[in-house]
Structure 1
Amino acid sequence: MKQSYSGLVKAIIFDWAGTTVDHGSLAPVRVLQQLFAKRGVPISEAQARRDMGVLKKDHIRKILFEPSVAAKWRDAVGHTPTEADVESLFANFVPLQLECLVKYSVVIDGVAETVARLRKRGIKIGSTTGYTRAMLDMVLQPAAAQGYQPDCAITPDDVGAGRPHPWMIFANAIHLKVEPLEAIVKVGDTPVDIEEGLRAGVWTIGVARTGNMVGLSAEDFSALAPAQQASRLESARTLLAAAGAHEVIDAVANCERALDAIEARIRHGERP
């Protein structure tokens, strides 16, 4: 006999950079640009951001084999890119990323307070990331000191593959002891976050302003003219909605109204 379901959200699984920490998802971008520049192959911020959210080695691979970057690599290094180059770049990436993570990984305004309110609603807090375990471990303690500590923090290293595969979400569900999957909401700032959630069969919320799609620190975003802010936000919201997000918000601090909307949809018979 199928277990009845009240329609309440039981767990939220947050992304890290651009969602709960590192407003604008700056740490990975800065390091990726530095990494390629050191090999004589400068990349744009747009190229560094395009595949944000996937496991970092996969991210490096996608950048390196992009045709325009591959051509620059051939000219600078003397051969077309290979998997050995991916491994070499990733080996150089890790210490650079570890060095800058704590500097950039400040908890985004409103996250700690919002998570405290969610817990009062009986909601468990999980997380997934494109960072390796060593990288995430550098972020966990500073985040906790700033008031944000999820109940579960899963990395691709823990499950054998990163996004868009759903394995990290399944591991969260097991660790948090939450079922059914439709009682879970995935919150993230990139299209691949949304794809991860959809593949797992959970609800998804896209985060526009604080994340990779806008790509600015809080200070830099505030310095934009209102029309520029509106344009950037509209573009980010459109891209996240097009990726299949069930709801789109500007920041984690706005997620409670989105959760209310999702619970209303569940009670009306909708499923993710």
Structure 2
Amino acid sequence: MNTELAVLDMAGTTVADDGLVEQSFTAAIATAGVSESDDRYPAMLDHVRRTMGQSKITVFRALLGDEAAAQRANTEFRRHYEGLVAAGHCAPVPGAEEAIRLLRASGTKVALTTGFASGTQQALLDALGWQDLADLALAPGPGVRGRPFPDLVLTAVLRLEVTDLRRVAVAGDTPSDILTGLRSGAAVSAGVLTGAAGRDALLAAGATHVLDSVASLPTLLGVPS
């Protein structure tokens, strides 16, 4: 496969999560008066786990049913998560950076995508020193819906002037990542086992491949090491 573009998720796929999302969710939901001892908390946390990869403001809207409360929770999520990143609780998935460099050296463009706000994505890129690692970094925002809509992939295709969706590969650790890839028409929508979902959940979502890590993606795409 002559791959023109690889669209890669960040937390859980190229960046190790290590529970940062759940910690930040717990801090965020407290703004709505829900503590870990609250009867509502387990169901809310389960929803967060099931919707990993999706835009965080969308998740808070679904949980709280009130725009003002959702915005407060989203702001606190960002503050807490970015604080953890600034404190050094951020590391790449082993082999991820090398895989991205190998893909780009072979002529494949790389876009890093996320369900976080653009400011949070930038905090991750800054902490990792990845500002110039990929060709493009994209987050949900005006005119670009988050996963599982196909917008992030299609926006990357347009901005990077890709000629054929059949030459696009998508990789992520959640069913939402898989659905985004499939809905965009990408030839490869691969799941990775370094994040939120297991093999069965990724295959149930329709993953074309399941990899132990994004580090294996260049080999899957036939990129020589």
* TM-score normalised by L of structure 2: 0.86
CA distance in 2: counterparts of 1:60 and 1:20, whole angstroms: 24
In the alignment, which residue of structure 2 is the partner of 1:94? Answer: 78
Query: Cα offset for 1:47?
Result: 4.0
Question: Of the candidates 27, 30, 39, which is equivalent to residue 23 of structure 2?
Answer: 30
User: What is the aligned partner in structure 2 of residue 267 from structure 1?
Assistant: none
Number of the residue aligned with 2:9: 15
Give me the CA root mean square deviation: 2.2
3-state SS of paired residue (2:138): coil
Deviations 1:64-114 (A, max 9, x none): 25xxxxxxxxxxxxxxx5333222322332322221234333111111112
* Residues 101 and 133 in structure 2, CA contact (< 8 A), matched pair in contact too: no
Q: Secondary structure at the match of 1:159?
A: coil
Percent identical: 29
Deviation of the 1:165 alpha carbon: 1.4
- Equivalent of residue 247 in structure 1, options 209, 214, 220: 209
1:148 Cα deviation from its structure 2 partner: 7.5
Letter in 1 for 2:52: M
Aligned position for 1:204: 189
Output the TM-score relative to the length of structure 1. Answer: 0.72
Question: Deviation above 4 Å: which 4+ runs of structure 1?
Answer: none
Residue among 163, 168, 191 paired with 2:175: 191
Q: Which shifted more, 149-158 or 184-193?
A: 149-158
- Alignment-derived partner of residue 178 in structure 1: 162
Provide the aligned length of Structure 1 versus Structure 2.
214
In our comparison, the structure showing a higher alpha carbon Rg is: 1
Contact persistence 1:195–1:243 (CA under 8 A): yes
Match of residue 106, structure 1, among 73, 91, 114: 91
Which residue of structure 1 lines up, in the alignment, with residue 200 of structure 2? Answer: 238
Q: Which amino acid aligns with 2:6?
A: I
Post-superposition CA distance 1:10-46 (Å, at most 9, x none): 110100000011244x222110022224523423454
Kindly tell me: are residues 172 and 158 of structure 1, through their superposed partners in 2, closer, same or farther at Cα, counting changes over 3 Å? farther
Checking the alignment, whether the CA contact within 8 Å between 1:16 and 1:127 is kept in structure 2 is yes
SS of 1:12's equivalent in the other structure is: strand
SS of corresponding position for 1:153: strand
Cα 1:258–1:12 shift into 2, 3 Å: same
The structure with the greater share of residues assigned to helix is: 1
Does the residue aligned with 1:127 lie in a helix, a strand or coil? Answer: strand
Separation of aligned partners in 1, 2:221 and 2:173: 16
Post-superposition offset of 1:127: 1.7
Q: Specify which of 118, 127, 135 is matched with residue 120 of structure 2.
A: 135
State the one-letter code of the partner of 2:184: A
* Aligned 8 A contact 2:144 2:155 in 1: no
